[in-house]
Amino acid sequence: MTPIYLDNNATTQVAEEVLEGMLPYFNDFYGNPSSMHTFGGMVGTQLEKARQSVAGLIGANPDEIVFTACGTESDNTAIWSAINSSPSKKHILTTRVEHPAVKNLCEHLSKNGYRVSYVPVDRKGELDMKFLTDHLSEDTALVSIMWANNETGVIFPIEEIAETLKKRDIVFHTDAVQAVGKIPIDLRKTPVDMLSLSGHKIHAPKGIGALFIRKGTKFSPFLIGGHQEKGRRGGTENTASIVGLGIACDLARDHLKEMNTTVKRLRDHLENELLRQIPNAIVNGKNANRLPNTLSMNFEYIEGESILLMLNEFNICASSGSACTSGSLEPSHVLRAMGVPFTAAHGSIRFSLSTRTTEKEIDFVIEKMPTIIEDLRKLSPFWNPSQHPSSLHLW
């Protein structure tokens, strides 16, 4: 039985067109693009075509795109490049809600001579822009801020931040892994210096990512090796996956409108129905600008892993920022940063849709969720609606 897959912010199904386009590069066109012979060289031509597709999706020039192995590699490359390019600057500014690929590297750097400022978010999940501008200085080597948050889907004002930083000549990197393919991105209009994206979030396979490096940005490579990617990333190209990423970017471009109409309508329907039918629940980032496919909710007096496991019984795939699912014992850093009330902090669940999600699937989830929440609350020593009026309306 195929699952009802509502965990597309974690990863996506490889599109049929992508898989079909990739297959010849495993055993028919297996040449090395760096080779002098035509057999290898023709693979190189296809890589350039893919580079154009990636650039086309985000409004970049093809030679500003470097292929990497994943979003994490893109993030690491961008951050190391920025600090290595300005060795005298010892300050980094980022946010409290970054993906571990940025967060943990910044924490590592803070133990190794760097000062790191973390921009807080408010209850809506939006950035404290005053904190951001107040903490910029001559010593700032890099600002790294995600375009959209993976857990809540809240979109940050990257255009505005990029303009501010451009005026002050501070290098700006954005982790756009969740934003690419879901909202329009045009780097001709948004002056970010570096941008990370990942293939497997947009129906390409795992193991392929890309980093946009604006022409003129000082750059030092992360993987030092051969002359591949014009010396910006050593290592023989993952040819089949690069071809796949190119196709996926073309598809994403075609689906962008659908994502912001059909998918958004389905997400809104799910959100409205769950809020209507289930008491003591909140939508994280409800009043913020959000990705059209993401719904992050918290339910009072129950725990997220239990919800997930119940959903799993109905073959519904979702995820949770709750402690018990992450292997840690505290709720996700994103929900904590937003100050979600402690009565609901452990009961989080994230549904993330794709253009493949159907109305029937959403209706099935709407049918099952209220009973699941009710059943778990019956088990909870804290659930007594008459004695526990929700504190959430104050929040």
CA–CA–CA angle 349, 354, 359 (5° rounding): 85
Considering the complex, what minimum distance in angstroms separates the CB of residue 111 from another protein? Answer: 13
Q: Considering beta carbons, is residue 126 or 374 the nearer one to another protein? A: 374
Please report how the helices 359-379 and 264-277 are oriented relative to each other, as an axis angle in degrees rounded to 10: 30
Measured between alpha carbons, how far is 346 from 283 in angstroms, rounded to an integer?
14
181: CB partners within 8 A, 6+ apart: 57, 201, 202, 248, 249, 252, 255, 256, 259
Please say whether the beta carbons of 376 and 307 come within 8 A. Answer: yes
Considering the complex, what minimum distance in angstroms separates the CB of residue 276 from another protein? Answer: 24
Considering the complex, what minimum distance in angstroms separates the CB of residue 353 from another protein? Answer: 22
Active site residue 324: yes
Selecting among 70, 106, 317, 324, the annotated active-site residue is 324
Measured between alpha carbons, how far is 332 from 313 in angstroms, rounded to an integer?
24
Q: Considering beta carbons, is residue 228 or 320 the nearer one to another protein? A: 320
Q: Considering beta carbons, is residue 16 or 313 the nearer one to another protein? A: 313
In one letter, which amino acid is 182?
Answer: K
Nearest to 279, CA basis, from 363, 347, 210 = 347
Q: Considering beta carbons, is residue 31 or 341 the nearer one to another protein? A: 341
Q: Considering beta carbons, is residue 116 or 302 the nearer one to another protein? A: 302
Please report how the helices 304-313 and 359-379 are oriented relative to each other, as an axis angle in degrees rounded to 10: 130
Considering the complex, what minimum distance in angstroms separates the CB of residue 393 from another protein? Answer: 18
Q: Considering beta carbons, is residue 196 or 325 the nearer one to another protein? A: 325
In one letter, which amino acid is 195?
Answer: L
Measured between alpha carbons, how far is 108 from 106 in angstroms, rounded to an integer?
5
Q: What is the dihedral of CA 387, 392, 393, 395, to 10 degrees?
A: 140
Considering the complex, what minimum distance in angstroms separates the CB of residue 324 from another protein? Answer: 4
> How crowded is the C-beta side of 145, counted as CA atoms within 13 Å?
28
User: What's the DSSP call for residue 64?
Assistant: G
Sites of contact with another protein (CB under 8 A): 301-303, 305-306, 309-310, 312-313, 322-325, 327-331, 342-343, 345-346, 378-382
Cα-Cα-Cα-Cα dihedral sign, residues 19, 46, 74, 338: negative
Considering the complex, what minimum distance in angstroms separates the CB of residue 23 from another protein? Answer: 29
Q: Which residues are catalytic?
A: 324
